[in-house]
Structure formats: structure tokens, C-alpha cells
């Protein structure tokens, strides 16, 4: 039966379905943490070209990201240019374009799998990618890693075709390699990596095949080297066309950017494996762990089985070696370099399609070894069930695919508070529009103030919902130190114990965006009496008696408000009520046992009364927590 299936037709029909689904879905995904800056960069790049290079503001630091000009400008320029003519919401348009790039990754995954095996593998790889929840989610609104991954996958595909065609190499494959190199570099300077990838493909092919027939100095090899040089030089030049910084000094600036980006160190606190760690000091297994718990289990099984491809007679060793190199070398390299990493595996998003191709090839190859028809049915049933699980999850939790965790981790419910979930702010769109719907904010003329710990996307949403509504940024632990009517809070940068022990969402939450049962975003209505806010204002004015009164009233109403206990303790200590102040801090630490700010306050209180023993005990505990957070967790 399987031999009679027309996998080419099925694959093409599947691709049509996937394209429609991805483009339609793109409108429902939120503005992410990088998009405001990337859109601004795109506007500046557009102005650079529109003024013939006179406006050089894109070469300067702006906003909260000081090194945007080290990135190629092609994708952001494309989005800004389309938005000049598009009648639709500019960020929905960006997401539509993002989805096109994500879909093209599936297309080139299909082409690569068909090249290596055939339409049966292409069909499976298409569905493996499409039903990978995190791949789908990133494809909607990740403006850096998705376009870059497309360039890298295109490069791997055309490189494989080029060396396989030797000695009769066609200009179509040379052009494909050049365009892929150019696309990758025009997004991120790391696209230069495709040039050594090309060299490695030639090396593998020579090692396994050519050396038996061609000498290194033969005319055929010299011609191949010339073609590779042409593809690399042209690709490099294409990559600079839409990169203003590189155009200022084409032979120097790209390598300056490469050096700066490889040396770039950022220290971001994040949850990983039940610990708060820093992005510039991650354990070596950070990426492998993330991949193992966020990739559908059926794909992981295929990856584990994929070494079988080396012993199968159905594949050329050089091609399989190159595929494995493309998928695994970047992973081993970042482990060796101890590179700063954060937000799961999105910085290595470009290795996921090759890994999926490895998995798909392994399943199809092993299924082909099963001679019994019923055995093939069983094999197919396992694959179908394996894909049905993430498909069901995606449908139930749309559009929050980005927070998917597989069954090995116990799903997002088990991972909640142990790993980052909605690090990209996607859920805030759902929370914002739900608030507007519930409270009639589309038409209200009331002067309302919205507080949020993710101001950039929320400001954009309210520009469209009702420009009269103001948005203010507050850090979640200081949320009651500003006056607001409604709050929109997501879980990024929250301490793990608050999440694990159910202290989020906070009191007065009127709606919660969830994935399964895990809260991602809370819509909060302010306390009508504003007790915590008034208490904080009295504390700032050094009116400690009034601060104590209001904090006591507030904490009686909301004893789980972790954010008020430290301020309450400061007010108590300022009035000489030291035992009560210590008790207040300890209540906070019972809720959030690894909060360093609370320990610093406790140390200060003990020091103020000369209690050296308890001061030292608190200092020792704080130091242990700090070392745990700053050092790799082995």
C-alpha cells in the first residue's frame, strides 16, 4: 500500500494547507520583545536608502539596544517598505511576512529531504516542522532567527546540490548558494558561516568520493574551487547591499560586527532547570536540555535513531556527514565557546530544520526496512500518534505555541516556574484585547492608566484600541508604587518560588491568559482604595506611621502580596519596631526564599541593632544564593 501512495501530491497539498494556515494564523500573534526596536531600525535603514545615504541615523545606537547596526537590515527594511503601501496594521503585516519566511523554511526542508531521499521523506519532514509547536510559534513573530534560519537552510541545500553535481556544476546551484549566503548575512553576520560550510561539504565529498578519481590539483577540482569562490564572493556582496554599516567599509566592518557579536556579553536573569541563572554563565547543557524538553518526542526519537543513516546503503556518506555537520557543529561550537544564551534555543533556531530532516530520514529509512505490511502500518501509526500529541496541544493552546513543553518534561504545567515560558511577550496581546473587550475600552472616554511590566508592545496595542488610554511601565515587584487602573503583567523575570507556589496571578486578577493551566499573563483591576499605593507614597514622604497603617490594611486584604512586605518592614524598622520588621521580611522570604533584596534588608535591620550573629547568618545565606545564581548549575 505504501508503495502506491503518491507522496509528491500529498506533499504539495500539505504545503498548500500549511501556507494558508500559517499566513492566516500570523494575525493572532503578539508583538515580541525585539520587534519595536527592529521596526525602528528598519525605518532608519529605509531613510538611509531613501536619502541616498545622507541619513546615517541607522549607524548610531538608539533605544535600549546599542548594537542594532551590527545586524543586516534586509528583513526590517522589507517589512518597513511593505508597510509603506499596506493598509493593514504594521505589526500584523510584519507577522504575515514572518510567516512567509517560516513557511519557506518548510519548503526548503522539503526540498532538502527530497534531494537526499525522496518525496516520502519530504512529506514527513514537512509535517514534522509544521507540527513542531515552537517552530510554528517562532515563525509568526521572530524577526531575527526565522529569516536567518531560512538563509542557513537554503545555503545547506544548495551547497549539497552543488557538490553532488560535480563535475557538471550548474549555474543555478552556484546562484542558489550565493543568494543563500547573501540572505543569511543580510540578517545576521553569522551567515558568513555558510562559506566554511561550503568548504566542509567539498571536504566531505572529496574524502568519501572524489579522491578515488580526482587529484587535488586536477582541472575539475580547480574549476570547482573557482565556482565556490565566485559563489562566496557574490554571496558576501549580496549580503552587504541591505546593510548600511557594512557598506561604510565592506572589507572591515562586517568582520568588526562578527567580532563584536561573538564577544558580546549580556547578563540576563532567567529560569532554567529550577534555578535562576544568568545568560552569560549558562551550563554547557543549556541548549541540549531545552531542545530535549521542547521538541516533540516523536522527532527526538528520530534524531536518536538518525546515526543509522551512516550505515544505510541508501545514502552517500558525504551528504549525510554534511547534514550532521550543519546540524551539530554550531551546537558544539557554542558549548565550546561558552557563548551567552537566553530565551531557550532560539539563537540556534537555524539548527532545528536540519535536525528535523535527520529525524524524518531516519524514520522513513527504518520503515523501509520493515517488510511486513502490518509492521509498516504499526510504524506509521506510531508516527501519526507522535504528531497528534503536539497537534492537539497546539489547537488547545493557540496562539501560545511558543510555550510548548513535551511529555518528557510533563508539559507546560510541570515546567511552569522551573523554566521560562512566555519570554517573548506573546500573551500580552491576548490579555490586552481581552481587557479592552471586558471593560469597553475601545470606546471609553475615561482617562485610564494601564500599568505593565512589558510597556513596548502594550503601548502599541493601545494606540490601536484607544489612544486616549495611557500606559506606564512598572517592574512587577514595584507594581503598587505607581497609581493605575488596570494592570497587564506577564511572567518574565519573576522569581521561581512565586510562580511555583501560586503567588501569580496576583489578587484582583480579572482574567488570566493560560497555556494548559499555566498562567502566562494576568489582567488585574486595581484595588479601588489604592491602599498599597497610598502606603508607598507615605513611605517615600517618611510618614512611617501612616505607611504602617495603610500597609497593614492592604496586607490584611491581600496577605499574598509579596511586593509590600519589604516596604512594610522598612516603615516598621524606622519606627523602632524591629521584631515586627524582621517578621515582615521573613513572611516575604517564606513566599520568595531566594529574594536577595529581602536578605539585604534583613542584613541591614540586624546590623542596625548590633545583632552580629543573625546579620552573619543572613549574609551567608544571601551569598550562597548569589553564587548559585551567578555560577553554572551542573
- Reported as a single tens digit per residue, the pLDDT across 353-368 is 999 999 999 999 999 9
Q: Are 314 and 116 in contact (CB under 8 A)?
A: no
What the block records as the C-alpha cell of 86 is: 499596506
Residue-by-residue DSSP string for 61-110: -BTTBTTGGGS--HHHHHHHHHHTT--S-HHHHHHHHHHHHHHHHHHHHH
| Homologous superfamily of 531-630 | Tetratricopeptide repeat domain (1.25.40.10)
pLDDT at 267 (0 to 100): 81
The confidence score (pLDDT) of residue 207 equals 93
Cell numbers 500606559 label which residue? Answer: 471
Q: What is the pLDDT of residues 356-409, one digit of tens each?
A: 999 999 999 999 999 888 999 999 999 999 999 999 999 999 999 999 999 999
pLDDT value at residue 264: 67
C-alpha 453/C-alpha 423 separation (Å) is 12
Domains of the chain, residue spans: 2-401, 427-525, 531-630
Does the pLDDT at position 574 exceed 90?
A: yes
CA nearest 476: which of 447, 457, 498, 460?
Answer: 498
Query: What tens digit of pLDDT does each residue of 582-608 get?
Result: 999 999 999 999 999 999 999 999 999
Report residue 481's pLDDT band, with 50, 70 and 90 as the boundaries.
very high
Is the confidence at residue 2, as pLDDT, over 70?
no
Q: CB count, 10 Å around CB of 576?
A: 11
What value does the mean pLDDT take over residues 132-160? Answer: 98
pLDDT at 627 over 90: no
pLDDT, residue 431, reads: 98
Query: What is the pLDDT confidence band of residue 261, given thresholds at 50, 70 and 90?
Result: confident
What pLDDT, on the 0 to 100 scale, is given for residue 326? 98
When pLDDT is cut at 50, 70 and 90, the band that residue 553 belongs to is: very high
Q: Which is it for strands 449-452 and 470-473: parallel, antiparallel or unpaired?
A: parallel
Query: Residue 211: its pLDDT value, please?
Result: 86
So what's the pLDDT on residue 129?
98
Q: Confidence class of residue 440 from pLDDT cuts 50, 70 and 90? A: very high
Report, as an integer, the average pLDDT of 439-451: 95
- Whether the per-residue pLDDT at 1 is higher than 60: the answer is no
If pLDDT is split at 50, 70 and 90, which confidence band does 5 have? Answer: confident
pLDDT at 633: 41
Query: Length of the chain in residues, anyone?
Result: 634
Task: Provide the pLDDT for residue 265.
Answer: 66
Q: Which of 2-11, 110-119, 522-531, 588-597 has the lowest mean pLDDT?
A: 2-11
Residue 530 predicted with pLDDT over 50: yes
- Over residues 107-125, the pLDDT tens digits come to 999 999 999 999 999 999 9
Q: How far is CA 178 from CA 149, 155, 334, 524, 572, in A?
A: 16, 8, 26, 52, 69
> Per-residue pLDDT for 634 more than 60?
no
Residue 202 has pLDDT above 50, yes or no: yes
Q: Judge whether residue 37 has pLDDT over 80.
A: yes
- What mean pLDDT is predicted for residues 413-429? 97
Amino acid at each position: 500500500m505504501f508503495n502506491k501512495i503518491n507522496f509528491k501530491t500529498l506533499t504539495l497539498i500539505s504545503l498548500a494547507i500549511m501556507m494558508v494556515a500559517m499566513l492566516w494564523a500570523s494575525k493572532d500573534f503578539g508583538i515580541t520583545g525585539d520587534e519595536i526596536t527592529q521596526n525602528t531600525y528598519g525605518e532608519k535603514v529605509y531613510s538611509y536608502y531613501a536619502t541616498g545615504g545622507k541619513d546615517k541615523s541607522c549607524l548610531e545606537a538608539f533605544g535600549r539596544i546599542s548594537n542594532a547596526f551590527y545586524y543586516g537590515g534586509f528583513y526590517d527594511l522589507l517589512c518597513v517598505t511593505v508597510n509603506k503601501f499596506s493598509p493593514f496594521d504594521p505589526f500584523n503585516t510584519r507577522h504575515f511576512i514572518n510567516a512567509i519566511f517560516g513557511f519557506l523554511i518548510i519548503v526548503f526542508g522539503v526540498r532538502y529531504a527530497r534531494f537526499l531521499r525522496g518525496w516520502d521523506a519530504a512529506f514527513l519532514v514537512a509535517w514534522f516542522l509544521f507540527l513542531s509547536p515552537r517552530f510554528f510559534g517562532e515563525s509568526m513573530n521572530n524577526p531575527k532567527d526565522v529569516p536567518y534560519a531560512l538563509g542557513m537552510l537554503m545555503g545547506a541545500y544548495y551547497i549539497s546540490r552543488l557538490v553532488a553535481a560535480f563535475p557538471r556544476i550548474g549555474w543555478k546551484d552556484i546562484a542558489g548558494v550565493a543568494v543563500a549566503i547573501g540572505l543569511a548575512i543580510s540578517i545576521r553576520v553569522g551567515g558568513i558561516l555558510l562559506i566554511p560550510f561550503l568548504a566542509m561539504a567539498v571536504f566531505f565529498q572529496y574524502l568519501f568520493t572524489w579522491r578515488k578519481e580526482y587529484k587535488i590539483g586536477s582541472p575539475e577540482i580547480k574549476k570547482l574551487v573557482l565556482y565556490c569562490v565566485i559563489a562566496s564572493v557574490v554571496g558576501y556582496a549580496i549580503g552587504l547591499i541591505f546593510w548600511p554599516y557594512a557598506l561604510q567599509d565592506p572589507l572591515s566592518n562586517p568582520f568588526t560586527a562578527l567580532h563584536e557579536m561573538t564577544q558580546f556579553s549580556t547578563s540576563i536573569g532567567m529560569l532554567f532547570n529550577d534555578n535562576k541563572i544568568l545568560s552569560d554563565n549558562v551550563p554547557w547543557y543549556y541548549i541540549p536540555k531545552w531542545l530535549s524538553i521542547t521538541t516533540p518526542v516523536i522527532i527526538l526519537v528520530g534524531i536518536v535513531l538518525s546515526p543509522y543513516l551512516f550505515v544505510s546503503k541508501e545514502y552517500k556518506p558525504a551528504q549525510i556527514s554534511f547534514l550532521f555537520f550543519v546540524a551539530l557543529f554550531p551546537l558544539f561550537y557554542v558549548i565550546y565557546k561558552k557563548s551567552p544564551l537566553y530565551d531557550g534555543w532560539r539563537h540556534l533556531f537555524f539548527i532545528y530544520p536540519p535536525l528535523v530532516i535527520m529525524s524524518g530520514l531516519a524514520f522513513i529509512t527504518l520503515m523501509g526496512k520493515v517488510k511486513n505490511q502490518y509492521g509498516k502500518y504499526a510504524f506509521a501509526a506510531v508516527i501519526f500518534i507522535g504528531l497528534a500529541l503536539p497537534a492537539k496541544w497546539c489547537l488547545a493552546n493557540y496562539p501560545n505555541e511558543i510555550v510548548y513543553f513535551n511529555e518528557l518534561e510533563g508539559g507546560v504545567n510541570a515546567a511552569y516556574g522551573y523554566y521560562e515560558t512566555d519570554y517573548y511577550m506573546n500573551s500580552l496581546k491576548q490579555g490586552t484585547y481581552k481587557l479592552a473587550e471586558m471593560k469597553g475600552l475601545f470606546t471609553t472616554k475615561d482617562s485610564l492608566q494601564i500599568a505593565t511590566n512589558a510597556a513596548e508592545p502594550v503601548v502599541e496595542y493601545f494606540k490601536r484600541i484607544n489612544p486616549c488610554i495611557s500606559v506606564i511601565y512598572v517592574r512587577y515587584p514595584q507594581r503598587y508604587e505607581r497609581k493605575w487602573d488596570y494592570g497587564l503583567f506577564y511572567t518574565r523575570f519573576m522569581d521561581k518560588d512565586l510562580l511555583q507556589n501560586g503567588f501569580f496571578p496576583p489578587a484582583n486578577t480579572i482574567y488570566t491568559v493560560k497555556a494548559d493551566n499555566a498562567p502566562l499573563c494576568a489582567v488585574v483591576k486595581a484595588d479601588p482604595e489604592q491602599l498599597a499605593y497610598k502606603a508607598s507614597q507615605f513611605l517615600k514622604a517618611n510618614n512611617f506611621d501612616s505607611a504602617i497603617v495603610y500597609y497593614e490594611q492592604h496586607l490584611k486584604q491581600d496577605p499574598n502580596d509579596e511586593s509590600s512586605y519589604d516596604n512594610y518592614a522598612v516603615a516598621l524598622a524606622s519606627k523602632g519596631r524591629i521584631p515586627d520588621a524582621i517578621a515582615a521580611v521573613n513572611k516575604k522570604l517564606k513566599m520568595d526564599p531566594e529574594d536577595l533584596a529581602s536578605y539585604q534588608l534583613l542584613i541591614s535591620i540586624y546590623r542596625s541593632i548590633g545583632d552580629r550573629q543573625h546579620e552573619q547568618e543572613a549574609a551567608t545565606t544571601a551569598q550562597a544564593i548569589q553564587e548559585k545564581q551567578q555560577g553554572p548549575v551542573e
